[in-house]
Amino acid sequence: MTRDEYAELLVKIGGDPIGLTSRNERSDAEQAVLFRHTQEFWILVSLGDALHQFYRDSLDTIARSLVPGITDLQIAMANWHVVSFNRFAAGYHLAVHGYYFDAIALGRDLWEVSLSLAGLKKGIVTLQELIAANATNASEMESMSRKADRTIRDKLLKANTALSGAAKEAIDAFIYITNAAVHKSKLHTSLNLRNWASGNPIPIFPHFDLEQASAAYNVFFQASWGLFSTLPYLDFALPGSNRTWQERYERVQLAFVEGLGRGPKPYHQAWPTVIRAVF
């Protein structure tokens, strides 16, 4: 098939110009949601922008501070944050543009990374165990990785005596929501089925929904709080003598407490305890 023939095939699939109608429709829907979010969730939208800038500046500071001879564990921790920055940026972009459940799914990944970093920092698992360095095939790698993750969760969450009953309930609520959003999109699918059963239209493109937005922001920023709480683990590249960074970091923690730790629901109020006990 020639280039022109393939182009003709795509026109038959997506119209001429190719896909422009759906692209414009999606863009308009995203901008409409973003406008509503800046009105209804100004504080959380601004918090996301501030965190994005702080995270980017932190990685720049880390990159300039790294020196030859750092350990494999330190290299891995630094690079996990580089990857997480991309996912934080993507998840936040999805949230503010109305992709609520997709933002929750990425939030779940940020939470898992933060737990892994805490597990490494506290010596619960080794780097080799976490990345399944001794695995000989894909199946063994998956099994070893799951075992390491389970060990981390058991020590940091299940057997952590510093977690109060309210804090454990907060974690359970967080995990329930993220699991429902991730596994076969159960959360999103159930809401669509509810709309269908009640005779309401099922939205295809992003749309503003106050309840869904509240859930997405809470879950995403709770996960982000855990991730940002692991940044001091990079003290080999963020020395305590860097007072400018340390002061900004302290303000980040305050912003999380004021923005999320004073929420109307008990599990919001318990989240500062979760952060202190786990990370």
- One domain, residues 55 and 31: no
Which of the pair, 70 or 229, is modelled with greater confidence? 229
- One domain, residues 207 and 268: yes
For residue range 148-191, what is the model confidence (pLDDT) as tens digits? 999 999 999 999 999 999 999 999 999 999 999 888 888 898 88
- One domain, residues 105 and 234: yes
Q: Are 91 and 107 in contact (CB under 8 A)?
A: yes
- One domain, residues 157 and 186: yes
- One domain, residues 16 and 112: no
Rounded to the nearest angstrom, the gap between the alpha carbon of residue 152 and the centroid of all alpha carbons in its chain is: 18
Enclosing domain of residue 192 = 41-278
| pLDDT of the residue at 241 | 73
- One domain, residues 27 and 60: no
Give the rounded percent of residues in the chain with a pLDDT score beyond 90: 77
Q: What is the identity of the amino acid at 164?
A: S
| pLDDT of the residue at 103 | 96
Going by pLDDT thresholds of 50, 70 and 90, the confidence category of residue 4 is very high
Type and span of the H or E element at 212: helix 210-228
The CA-to-CA distance between both ends of the chain, in Å, stands at 56
Domain count, the chain: 2
| pLDDT of the residue at 264 | 61
- One domain, residues 23 and 148: no
- pTM, to two decimals: 0.90
- One domain, residues 87 and 69: yes
- One domain, residues 68 and 177: yes
- One domain, residues 177 and 269: yes
Q: What is the DSSP string of 124-178?
A: SS-HHHHTTTT-SSHHHHHHHHHHHHHHHHIIIIIS-TTS-HHHHHHHHHHHHHH
pLDDT at 133 > cutoff 70 = yes
| pLDDT of the residue at 266 | 63
Q: What is the mean pLDDT of residues 96-121?
A: 96
- One domain, residues 14 and 130: no
pLDDT at 138 > cutoff 80 = yes
- One domain, residues 28 and 103: no
3-state secondary structure of 247: helix
